[in-house]
Amino acid sequence: MAVEQEYIVEFQGITKRYKTKQSLFGRGTKEVTALEDLDLGICRGEIFGLVGESGSGKTTAGRLLVKLEDPTEGSLVVEGTDINQLKGRALREFRRKVQMIFQDPYQSLNPQVSIFEAVCEPLVIHGIGTPDTRVDMVSEMLSLVGLSPPEDFFHRFPHQLSGGQRQRVAIARAMILRPSLLVADEPTSMLDASISAQIFNILLEMRERFGVTILFITHSLAAARYLCDRLGVIYKGRLMELGPSGTLISGPRHPYTQALIDALPKFGQCGSVVRYNTLLEREREGFKEGLSSGNARCCPFFPRCRRGEEDPCGLSVPSLENLAPGHMVRCYFASLVPGQGVALDTDAGQGGKCYYGT
């Protein structure tokens, strides 16, 4: 039976465009669309994985959510409030309850600030606790992220720690404010596999203990599979497939999700990785000549798609359709995957609810 919950976050028709210089010496500007008409809800208490290759718009989505930037179009609603409208006290409270950790912990840790000061600083900024109680709060949080005994770390500096320890400090600094929402942008992509697993377990522990909702951004479907309740697969700024992790991993319906799964290393097999790389090669060589993925009139994945047909894929952008409750796919042929035969259900999963769980 599906579990039904309200969303804590709603991206409502979010588009983000950047203006960039045409070339190093050129005077003209061109526009890059990092996110295109993104509609996405994240449920309270879930770990939601946003998965896609480099340049697909994942970090942009995270930066908009913590209000480091504003959208070009659309509304971003957090706990029922459009964050574009936030000012003064309400904005300050938003900054407390929504936190972000980055791929490189140095983005949140000042190299010249001790670990104690780094973790304590948010408490001081938000006027939480007294000098004495803050020591206890920092100790407790460092212990929770596995930096123990905490006093041994108080006077160290980021450069005296390993990469994994620095990421633990970044998590402690973010979680000391007991946020309701944490954006984790590729937090383990600079770490090796065993250290990454430890960081995942800390994030799971944070969700368990504090009920924090996590937007986990990653290029790795393997990482997302381990950690996330639901996944959104994003490609060139558009959501391509959305659903429970198990459903997407075991029964992907979008050719891009399928390609990402094919690229997952399997025991004694490297052919699938070669197949995925071949797709990339074909795109670079101008596969399906005359159409680029920048063509606004065609499916963004058409230049790389093995299943695509000129009509309709090359002529218009498919919309994100419900395939089953909570499972949405942006592909004209999503319901025609051989051997699966689930009909399109345009009513399921609508109405401000999300469906995941048992």
Ligand X SMILES: Nc1ncnc2c1ncn2[C@@H]1O[C@H](COP(=O)(O)OP(=O)(O)O)[C@@H](O)[C@H]1O
Stretch that binds ligand X, among 48-56, 122-130, 207-215, 304-312 (CB under 6 A): 48-56
Subset of residues 254 to 293 that bind ligand SF4, contact rule: CB under 6 A: 255
Q: For residue 30, with 0-12 CB atoms within 10 Å meaning exposed, 13-18 middle and 19 or more buried, which class applies?
A: exposed
Distances from the Cα of 52 to the Cα of 117, 186, 259, angstroms: 35, 11, 11
Residue closer to Mg ion, measured from CB, 102 or 153: 102
Subset of residues 76 to 135 that bind Mg ion, contact rule: CB under 5 A: none
Q: Of ligand SF4, ligand X, Mg ion, none, which one sits near residue 171, judging by CB under 5 to 8 A according to partner kind?
A: none
Q: For residue 135, with 0-12 CB atoms within 10 Å meaning exposed, 13-18 middle and 19 or more buried, which class applies?
A: middle
Residue closer to ligand SF4, measured from CB, 227 or 260: 260
Stretch that binds ligand X, among 52-60, 138-146, 149-157, 331-339 (CB under 6 A): 52-60
The angle that helices 271-284 and 255-262 make with each other, rounded to 10 degrees, is: 130
Subset of residues 40 to 69 that bind Mg ion, contact rule: CB under 5 A: 59
Site string for ligand X, 1-40 (x = CB under 6 A): -----------------x-x-----------x-x------
Subset of residues 184 to 223 that bind ligand SF4, contact rule: CB under 6 A: none
Q: Of ligand X, Mg ion, ligand SF4, none, which one sits near residue 34, judging by CB under 5 to 8 A according to partner kind?
A: ligand X
According to DSSP, the residues that pair with 234 across neighbouring strands are: 239
d(CA 67, CA 217): 16
User: What are the structure tokens assigned to 42, written together?
Assistant: 């994240």
Q: Of Mg ion, ligand X, ligand SF4, none, which one sits near residue 333, judging by CB under 5 to 8 A according to partner kind?
A: ligand SF4
Residue located via tokens 């090796």:
192
Q: Of Mg ion, ligand SF4, ligand X, none, which one sits near residue 332, judging by CB under 5 to 8 A according to partner kind?
A: ligand SF4
Q: Of ligand X, ligand SF4, Mg ion, none, which one sits near residue 57, judging by CB under 5 to 8 A according to partner kind?
A: ligand X
Residue closer to Mg ion, measured from CB, 103 or 247: 103
User: What are the structure tokens assigned to 110, written together?
Assistant: 């000042």
Residue closer to ligand SF4, measured from CB, 98 or 260: 260
Stretch that binds ligand X, among 55-63, 71-79, 92-100, 192-200 (CB under 6 A): 55-63
- The minimum distance between CB 245 and ligand SF4, in angstroms, equals 21
Any contact of residue 313 with ligand SF4 (CB under 6 A)? Answer: yes
d(CA 237, CA 73): 14
Residue closer to Mg ion, measured from CB, 59 or 99: 59
Site string for ligand SF4, 328-347 (x = CB under 6 A): ---xxx--------------
Q: Which residues bind ligand SF4 (CB under 6 A)?
A: 255, 299, 301-302, 305, 307-308, 313, 318, 331-333
Binding site for ligand X (CB under 6 A): 18, 20, 32, 34, 52, 54-60
